[in-house]
Amino acid sequence: MAGFDDLASERSKAQFDVEEMKVIWAGSRHTLEVSDRISRLVANDPVFRKDTRTMLSRKDLFKNTLRKAAHAWKRIIELRLSEEEAAELRFYVDEPAFMDLHWGMFIPTIKGQGTEEQQQKWLPLAYKMKIIGCYAQTELGHGSNVQGLETTATFDPQTDEFIIHSPTLTSSKWWPGGLGKVSTHAVVYGRLIIDSKDYGVNGFIVQLRSLDDHLPLPGITIGDIGMKFGSGAYNTMDNGVLRFDHVRIPRDQMLMRVSQVTREGKLVQSNVPWQLVYGTMVYVRQKIVSDASCALSRAVCIATRYSAVRRQFGLQSNGIETQVIDYKTQQSRLFPLLASAYAFRFVGEWLKWLYMDVNQRLQASDFSTLPEAHACTAGLKSLTTSATADGIEECRKLCGGHGYLCSSGLPELFAVYIPACTYEGDNIVLLLQVARFLIKTVSQLGSGKEPVGTTVYMGRVEQLMQCHCAVQKGFLELSADLVQAAVAHCQLIVVSKFIEKLQQDIPGKGVKGQLEALCNIYALFILHKHLGDFLSTGCITPKQASLANAQLRSLYSQVRPNAIALVDAFNYTDHYLSSVLGRYDGNVYPKLYEEAWKDPLNDSVVPDGYQEYIQPILKQQLRNARL
Amino acid sequence: MAGFDDLASERSKAQFDVEEMKVIWAGSRHTLEVSDRISRLVANDPVFRKDTRTMLSRKDLFKNTLRKAAHAWKRIIELRLSEEEAAELRFYVDEPAFMDLHWGMFIPTIKGQGTEEQQQKWLPLAYKMKIIGCYAQTELGHGSNVQGLETTATFDPQTDEFIIHSPTLTSSKWWPGGLGKVSTHAVVYGRLIIDSKDYGVNGFIVQLRSLDDHLPLPGITIGDIGMKFGSGAYNTMDNGVLRFDHVRIPRDQMLMRVSQVTREGKLVQSNVPWQLVYGTMVYVRQKIVSDASCALSRAVCIATRYSAVRRQFGLQSNGIETQVIDYKTQQSRLFPLLASAYAFRFVGEWLKWLYMDVNQRLQASDFSTLPEAHACTAGLKSLTTSATADGIEECRKLCGGHGYLCSSGLPELFAVYIPACTYEGDNIVLLLQVARFLIKTVSQLGSGKEPVGTTVYMGRVEQLMQCHCAVQKGFLELSADLVQAAVAHCQLIVVSKFIEKLQQDIPGKGVKGQLEALCNIYALFILHKHLGDFLSTGCITPKQASLANAQLRSLYSQVRPNAIALVDAFNYTDHYLSSVLGRYDGNVYPKLYEEAWKDPLNDSVVPDGYQEYIQPILKQQLRNARL
């Protein structure tokens, strides 16, 4: 039962330099140093404790989040943290809050869609948090279909104002984080109406609450949309509902970088290319991919450590049972997730580069790679978030019954993570976009328009044509199959970028070897998972499939002695993991036992309600009981 | 946006007799009448309301559950409900509670493992609930490996007692439902020790709490193990921790139906076959399979109705958008789950028959079908609960963003359901048992021992031998692959039983035709899902795979107009569904809006914490703020 010894002995078995792997995972020595320092700073600050989160009522939970957010901002100011350090601090506080939307959506949107003057007016206020902003796009009736939004912004030439209005119940803004209780301002998306003509959806800066007493301004109804999945989890966020009753804002609060409404009520396009908005989208999505690798690696770290501590069946000669990590069924579920965490890390790193590349090209008015970059980020966002959501739940299952306890950290991690599959583009809708792009790319082959970036492989026309592809039905009819094709395309990108990473110079004893094993596991696991596609297209033979499976098994054995060290390389503090099962020291059982007693139900030995509801049953006095 | 009209128009499109389908789903006219009457009785009783469950603190939630349990018991007595009706009532109250373990585990265990005298002594007390019992088997360190339990029950010949003791921290009983705060008694499993010799694990009836003041008896430490996955969900249950410090019980409280300890401390076997315990196991697991079909159909009902109400993209000629149920991507995910719900329903029905059959044979000391029946129930428990857990989450995703709200009912349904994958046998461990049984069956082929029941197909030796099977490695080495083989075997049972159902007389216009379509969808979907296995073994050709896929698409179109009627046939009340998205009347959006305002955060317009934590940020007064 000595979890301590188990993990120490596991660590001594590692065949590679863990410290060097930490650098690889972090991206650079500098990033490792910053994240290490900031994560410890957060872990050691009692205000940032997370251990009672799942036991709090909604109100107490929310108030505690406000406290943490204020404290975080205070520390950022006091310690004069750099932008990078401040972002790391918010990340390690690890609690969804209005701050995320203020820094992650409100400010970037003004930067991306506001004119120079608008930026000069609003950004200094936002940077100092003299105003707090959110991003009010989705409505009760419209999520994915942004062009279907119903909120209206009607230009009134008499007063030089826009009238923001919610004409129907379904036009109520619904979901925006930070809206429900905190934000003073929002970027609101609505249909621009001039002289009864509908010019489609545009963004507007709207003040929601008084800066004096925080009350909603006249004509504005706001509230929280209620409890979401899980205890703790995303309930720290005030996702909100918002209705406008003819609320007036000055004309200059329409975001006018790309198109402007003049004093006379004319809509004119600026000379700024509209494609610039894609820059923001690529930025946000690469961030989501990077977050996916964090969430998945966190779950994998917990499940891997606990699998080395937990023993069950298979009494060994020394009288103790077998570590569950030694079971092949456990390895065949856990190690592909370990490999996925690394794979997503590296593809996320590459997306960062892609974002910079796209931005540079945009500055130079080169839009040639934009569709490909857009499809790429959309597809990778979809693939990595879906795999991460499923992977977290799989890690929970790999922890057996105890994974169901909140103290394992996994239920909350799952509940807090899964919105990533929906926000910033529903994962299926995104894959359909990728599919459309792929079909377009294929249809343009031979037309002289060369495929670029991640679609270069499609240029090998002859090969593609050899495949027995006889698409005669329409896109919609075949959409379920096309979604699978889009996934395959994205998996190719993930594998390619992992391989490219391995072609770089990777120092440190044994580090490259471990990464090669993980890369091969990822690729072979994907092959195994989609075996039907590979076999039915004749890409591989049954014999090859069987060899690949054997190779996969052998790679699991190769990774096994390094598993604990490979999750240690994520360099996560126990605070960040917030899991009794994933503790660095492996001291699982005493701490599980200790945690149990903290539940409010254990405040008294005899439970509240005994006299009214249990005693009358036992004493057969229920007939007269008032329930 | 008129959800009302959408569902009414859907219902008018149905091509079969919904009322007759309700009978098929329920199993008989009688069962339908009972479940219909009782579910309405529960739905109309304000004490049984569920709508605030996810907002309550643990203590309030638990107290409310005690109230419901007492009220349910009171109603059962007042209305003189039959055993069948009482079970239905508990089912529709739909809240995990100590009652489940008392009726579902404590009583059946005494019936199955107690002697005649023990049954006469304990059962009348239990039936009247003069005592409340639970089932204390699993420990902190041992779940799946029952034979590894550490709790000891040492016979003391001096006093004719057993001394129940927890020798280590990891021997603490951990997880038993109803233990933490309510049960007065438990069946406790521990190692029988006589004269320092370990005779393995046996069951003992142990009183835990005083019947006077509900305090734990001397030497007994009990508590709740803390918050579990989700808000509401399983947190209504007092899963408990229990430690014994040399607690003495009379000798006659060992469950002695199969083996007895005499006054002299001799262990003697009775003439009752030990295999009888398998009867209980088969019973409990067939119940779990039947529950799986309920949980999955509930999720499918919600997702199907909402998919008909929700419209997104694809503006039609009449100016309204396309119902999302009309998208092929939605159908290809939703309809296989609809088919699975029906498939699990029928295989569950068949398991009920199997349980009766096994029991009759046991009475006649015929153990020949027992291993097969055991493997069968183990495998089907694993398959249906895993598919149901995944299916519920898939239904949630099919509801888009709104599925993440607790008011959709799906987060809580998921959180409350998933323990079924772990309790009564971890799903992977169970599949390994099935795999072992299959290997044994294959190895006995030709030895004169004919395969029985669901393994009869293996008798076709010649065919099997044609498959290129060259198993040379050990069981453990190949266990991951063997688990897949076990799943395939179980899927064969599910499909076979669905087909057998269709060979029965099925009255009602169009009912049989709909079930045939669903059966085909289930079978073809499984083929699609495991395509790699079918292709690599040469069972089907790529051409056939492509035809099967086309056939599947065409079946989806066939089911589409009947989808709403097919979920109406489950006959679920809005109370049971407890989902705004799944409302029978389709009036989704106004009700979502209405629900939101009930959240405690909306009690005040300005949130608690504004003055301490938000204002200081906005006013730039954080430096001096005390946080």
Contacts of B477 in chain A (CB under 8 A): 328, 553
At residue B1 the predicted structure's pLDDT band, cuts being 50, 70 and 90, is very low
First to last CA, chain B: 46
Higher pLDDT, A297 or B3: A297
Q: Cα(B124)–Cα(B368) distance, rounded to whole angstroms?
A: 34
Among the listed residues A424, A477, A500, A595, the single catalytic one is A424
CA angle B16, B20, B25 (to 5 degrees): 105
Of the candidates A62, A531, A605, the beta carbon closest to that of B607 is on: A62
Intervals of chain A under pLDDT 50: 1-2, 468-470
Ranges assigned E (strand) in A252-354: 259-261, 267-269
pLDDT band at B472 (very low <50, low <70, confident <90, very high): low
Residue B460 has pLDDT above 60, yes or no: yes
Q: How confident is the model at residue B100 (pLDDT cuts 50, 70, 90)?
A: very high
Domain spans of chain B? 1-13+275-595, 131-269, 597-627
Query: Nearest C-alpha of chain B: how many angstroms from A618?
Result: 4
Residues of A in contact with B591 (CB under 8 A): none
Residue B586 gets which letter from DSSP?
Answer: -
Which residues of chain A neighbour B138 with C-beta distances below 8 Å? 401
Q: What's the pLDDT at A273?
A: 82
DSSP state of A613: I
Per DSSP, the residues of B212-231 read TT-PBPTTEEEEE---BSTT
Return the pLDDT at B467.
Answer: 54
pLDDT score recorded for residue B466 = 57
* Cβ-proximal residues to A509 (8 Å cutoff; 6+ apart), any chain: A16, A17, A20
Residue B620's region, left for phi above 0, alpha for psi from -120 to 50, else beta, is left
Instruction: Establish whether A19 is a catalytic residue.
Output: no
Nearest beta carbon to residue B141 from set A428, A589, A616: A589
Average pLDDT value for residue range B590-608: 97
Residue B616, exposed/middle/buried by CB under 10 A (0-12, 13-18, 19+)? buried
Nearest to B401 by CA among A296, A177, A484: A177
| CA-based torsion, B244, B250, B253, B258: positive or negative | positive
3-state secondary structure B19-65: HHHHHHHHCCHHHHHHHHHHHHHHHCCHHHCCCCHHHCCHHHHHHHH
| Nearest CA among B423, B492, B479, B480 for reference residue B453 | B492
* ipTM summary value: 0.96
Q: Is A403 exposed, middle or buried (0-12, 13-18, 19+ CB in 10 A)?
A: buried
Cβ distance of B227 and A405 shorter than 8 Å:
yes
Distance (Å, rounded) from C-alpha B61 to C-alpha A589? 27
Which of A63, A181, A229 lies closest to B404 in CB terms? A229
Dump strand ranges (E) for A256-300. 259-261, 267-269
CATH T-level fold of B131-269: Butyryl-CoA Dehydrogenase, subunit A; domain 2 (2.40.110)
B4 confidence band (pLDDT: 50, 70, 90): low
- Report, as an integer, the average pLDDT of B233-248: 98
A261-275, A445-459, B3-17, B208-222, range with greatest mean pLDDT: B208-222
Contact pairs from chain A to chain B, CB under 8 Å: 391
Q: Residue B314 — pLDDT band, cuts 50, 70, 90?
A: confident
Report the pLDDT value the prediction gives residue A2, as an integer from 0 to 100: 47
pLDDT at B148: 94
Q: Mark yes or no for CB contact A404/B418 under 8 Å.
A: yes
Question: Of the candidates A73, A481, A596, which has its C-beta nearest B622's C-beta?
Answer: A73
What's the CA gap between B579 and B200, in Å, rounded?
A: 48
- Say what the pLDDT of residue B5 is: 82
Is residue A57 within 8 A of residue B57, CB to CB? The reply is yes
| Cβ neighbours of B593 in A, within 8 Å | 140, 169, 172, 241
Closest-CA distance, A22 to chain B, in angstroms, reads 31
pLDDT over threshold 70, residue B175: yes
Query: How high is the pLDDT of residue B582?
Result: 98
Indicate yes or no: CB of A532 within 8 angstroms of CB of B528: yes
Query: Is the CB of A595 less than 8 angstroms away from the CB of B172?
Result: no
Provide the pairing of β-strand B152-156 with B161-165. Answer: antiparallel
Considering only B105-119, B444-458, B496-510, B596-610, which range has the smallest mean pLDDT?
A: B444-458
The CATH fold of domain B1-13+275-595:
Butyryl-CoA Dehydrogenase, subunit A; domain 3 (1.20.140)
Asked whether residue B3 carries a pLDDT value surpassing 80, the answer given is no
Nearest CA in chain A to B125: A618
Q: Cβ separation of B77 and A622 shorter than 8 Å?
A: yes
Q: In this structure, which topology does domain A1-30+274-461+482-596 adopt according to CATH? A: Butyryl-CoA Dehydrogenase, subunit A; domain 3 (1.20.140)
CA nearest to B255, candidates B117, B105, B424? B117
Nearest CA in chain A to B237: A601
Distance from the Cα of B41 to chain A's closest Cα (Å) equals 17
Query: CA–CA separation, B481 vs B479, rounded Å?
Result: 5
Contact A480 B593 (CB under 8 A): no
Cα(B63)–Cα(A612) distance, integer angstroms: 10
Q: pLDDT per residue over B441-458, tens digit each?
A: 988 887 878 888 899 888
The length of chain A is: 627
| A598:B230 CB<8 A | no
Cβ distance of A230 and B228 shorter than 8 Å: no
> Do you know the residue count of chain B?
627
> CB of A409 within 8 A of CB of A581?
yes
- Residue A596 to residue B528, Cβ atoms within 8 A: no
3-state secondary structure A449-495: CCCCHHHHHHHCHHHHHHCCCCCCCCCCCCHHHHHHHHHHHHHHHHH
How high does pLDDT run on average in chain B? 94
Do A593 and B140 lie within an 8 Å CB cutoff?
yes
**Residues of B with CB below 8 A from A125's CB?**
none
CATH of region A130-269, choose from 2.60.40.10, 3.20.20.80, 2.40.110.10, 3.40.50.300: 2.40.110.10
Would you say residue B358 has pLDDT above 80? yes
Tokens 């779990």 identify what position? B288
- Alpha carbons A87 and A83: distance in angstroms, whole number: 6
Residue B173 region by backbone torsions, left for phi larger than 0, else alpha for psi between -120 and 50, else beta: beta
From the list A59, A226, A478, the residue facing B407 with the nearest CB is: A226
- Residues A90 and A173: their CA atoms lie apart, in Å, by 26
pLDDT value of residue B468: 47
Residues of chain A in contact with residue B480, where contact means CB-CB under 8 angstroms, are: 328-329, 331-332, 553
Average pLDDT over residues B139-161: 95
Which residue type does A316 have?
Answer: Q
For A40, A73, A89, B135, the CA distances from A78, given in Å and listed in that order, are 17, 9, 13, 55
User: Tens of pLDDT along A123-153?
Assistant: 999 999 999 999 999 999 998 899 999 999 9
Please give the residue that has the higher pLDDT: either B175 or B362.
B175
Q: Which two tokens stand for residue B310?
A: 């929700």
- φ, ψ dihedrals at A474, nearest 5°: -80, 170
Phi, psi of A488 (to 5 degrees): -60, -45
Q: Residue B568: what are its φ and ψ, rounded to 5°?
A: -60, -30
